[in-house]
Structure 1
Amino acid sequence: MKLNKKIAYVGCLGMIGIITTEFGIIGILPQIAVYYEITIDKAAYLLSAFALVIALTGPFMTLLFSGFDRKKIMLTTIFIFLLSTVVSAFSPPFWLLMIVRMLPAFLQPVYIATAIAAAVASGEKSQENQLMGIVLGGIALAMVTTVPFATYLASIFTWQISFFVQALVSVLALFTIFRIMPGGEIPEKKTYGSQVKILKDKSFVLSTAMNFFMIASWFSTYSYFADYLIKTREVDMAAISYLLLLFGVVGVFSNWLSGKMLTRSITKTVAFFLLGTVIIPVILIYSADSVWITILVVALWGFFYAPCFLNASAYMISAAPKSLEFANSLATSFGNLGVFLGTAVGGWIISQSTISNIPWAGMGFGMISLLMVAFRSILENRNKKTVLINTGSNL
C-alpha cells in the first residue's frame, strides 16, 4: 500500500483548527483578565476547564464513537468548535464564555483519535509514526501560524478578534474535510473489554504517567506564556506575538525532527526531548532579561516543547499497538489532565508568591516524567530477560 499523505494532511488541518481554539487563548489571557476584571489565574480557567473536560471524558467518548463514520465524526467536531468560537467572539459573560469553551472539548479527543486512525489506515505499518506525525504536526503549525497571528491582531485591535481568526480556521477545516475526506469509512467497532484491558499493562501505565507529568511540566509555565514574559522580561503584547511566532517556527522543525527520530528509537527520542522539561526551567530562572537572551530562550523552549504530543502518542501506542484509537484517546485525555494540573499548579504558585517561580513546578514534573521512562525501560528489559531465560529452558 502506498503512503497516502492526503488523508493525513486533511487531519492535520483539522488539528490546526482545534489547537488554535484550545491554545489560542494563551496569548490573550492578560487582556481577558483585564476585560473581565479578574486575576490571571482565574482567566486561566478558560484553558484548564477545557483540558479537564477532555481528561475526564476523552476515553469514554472515543469508545462510544469508535464505530461511527470517520468523516461525519470529524465534520461534527469541527462544526462544534466553530460554534464555540463564534459565540466567544461576542464577549459573553465570563460564566457563559467558560461553558461555550468547554462544549467542544467533549469531542476533541474523538477527532484526534479518528484523524490519526484514518491517516494510519491509509499507509503501511512501517509508515505509522510518519503519518501520525503529519496529523499531530497540526499542533506545531498552529503554533507558528494561527496562534501568533491571532495574538498579534489582538494586540492591535481587541482580544475578541482572536476568536474570529479561530472561527475562520474552523471554516476552512470544515470545507476541506467535506471535500477531500472519503465518507463511509466505518471501522469495526471493538468491544470495550478488548480496549480497556491495556490498562492492566504495566508498560502502558508507566507510559501514561510519563505523558501526564510531561504535559504538566510544560504547561505549568506555557499556560502563562504571555503574562510570564510580560512580567519577567518586560516585553509588550506585540512582542509576545513575535515570540509566539518564533516559538512555533522552531517547533515545526523539532516536530519534523522528532518524527524522524521516532522511526529509529521511540524511547531515546522521548528521553531526549524530555530533558527540555528540566533544562528550560533552569534557563528561564537563571538567564538575564536582555532581548537576545529572551529570543534564544524562547527558541529553545519551542524546540523542546513542540513534539511533546507526538512523542506522548508514539510512546503510549508502542506499549499498546493493538489498541491504536483507544491508546490515542488516553494519550489525549491524560495529556489534557496534565494541562489542567500544570495550569492549576502554575496558577496556585502565582497566587501564593510570584509568577517568576512557576518554572520550578515544571522542573519537578519533568523529573518525575523522566523517572517514568527509566522505570518502563527497566521493566521491559526485565521482561525480555525473562522471556529469553524461559525460551532457553524450553529448548
Structure 2
Amino acid sequence: MNDIALERSLTASYIALEAEYGAKNYKPLDVVLTRGEGVHVWDVEGRRYLDCLSAYSAVNQGHCHPKILAAMTQQAQRLTLTSRAFRNDQLAPFYEELCALTNSHKVLPMNSGAEAVETALKVARKWGYEVKGVPDGQAEIIVAADNFHGRTIAIVGFSTDPTSNGGFGPYPAGFKVVPYGDAAALEAAIGPNTVAFLVEPIQGEAGVIIPPAGYLQRARELCTKHDVILILDEIQTGLGRTGKLLAEEHEGIEADLTLIGKALSGGFYPVSAVLSNSEVMSVLHPGEHGSTFGGNPLACAVARAALKVLVEEGMVENAARIGARLQASLHAIAAPSVKEVRGRGLMIAVELHADAGGARRVCEALQARGLLAKETHEHTIRIAPPLILTADQADWIAEQFAAVL
C-alpha cells in the first residue's frame, strides 16, 4: 500500500470507529484533525487548513497559544482542583482581573456555557422573589425566538428550534418567547412577574443574526423601567469576537448579568462565568448554588492567561480591523447564489439562497481548498477564524469563497 492510500485509510479508520462507538448527535465534516497552531490545523494525513470556526469561538486566541499553554502546564504541576470547600490562590486574582476588565462587580465561575446560562436563570428567579417581590413560583423570564443558549432541559425547553427541543419534554415553565430584534414585542410581553430578559447581542447559531440598531439600548431602557434583569449571553459574542471586548459595547450599554465562556480559556479548558452587579448576585448564599470544578485553580490560571493575551496582543482591535476587511471582500464577490453577507468583527455569515443547493456542499468544497467552515440552518456558512488573523489570511479566505461560490 502506498503512502497516500495508507494515510487515507487512517482517516477512514477514525471515521469508522467514531461511527461504530459514538452517539450520532453530530454531523461533522469528514476531516480528522490532529494538531493546531495559530489559525491553522492539520489533519492526520498532514494537510493544513485555515480554521474558520475557532471551535465556535472558543479559540479566539488561536490554537495552542504558547502563553496560555505555559500557564496551564505550570499550574497543572502545582495544583489542579480543590473544590470550593477550600480556597485557592488563583481564584481571587481571576475575580479581580476579570471584574476590572469588564467593569463588573461580582463573578460566579462555572465550567460550560450552558452552566452559566442555568446559573443566570436561577439567580434571576431568586432575585425576583427576594428583591422584586414576585409571588413564589410565578417568575417569568422572557427570551428571544431563534435563540441558542445551550442544551440542558430548561434551555431547550424555551428554544424555538424543533431540532433542539423536539422529543425532550416536558419542559420547565416560566418562559415567554418574543421575536428577536422587536423592542415593541418585548415591551408588550413584560408583566408584573417578569424578572429577566435573556438575549444574545448577536444570534450565533441562528446564523449571525444582528438586531436592528438601537435594539439593545431599548431593551436596556425597558428592563430598567420595569425593574427587569437584562441578561446578555455573550458566550459566543464576547471576548473580542465582534471587535469589542463585549458586544454590548457596540450600543454603549451594560447588562445586569453577562455570560461569558468559550474563549475565556482560549480553548484549553472549559471555563465560564456569570458577571454581575452586586445587587443581583447578592441573593445567592452558601449552599444554594455551586460546582465542584467551577473556579478551580487550573481553570483560573488558564483564564487569567487567556484574558491577558487577548488584551496585550491587541486581538480585540485586530478583530475589528481585519473583520471589516474580510466582510468588504466577501461583499464584493459576485455570486448569484449569495443572498446576504452579514457580520460584526470576525463574526460573519454568508447566507445562500434556498435554491443554491445548501451550504454543506460549499463547506465541503472549501475543505478541499484548505479552509474549514461549517454550515448552520442549511443555507448559512459561518466564518469565525481566530482573532489573530492577518490581512493576507483574510484575503486568502475571501479568495477561496470567491472560487467556490
Bin for the TM-score computed over the shorter chain: under 0.3
Larger Rg: 2
Return the structure number with greater helix share.
1
Could you say which structure has the greater relative contact order, defined with CA pairs below 8 angstroms and 6 or more residues apart? Answer: 1
Return the structure number with greater strand share.
2
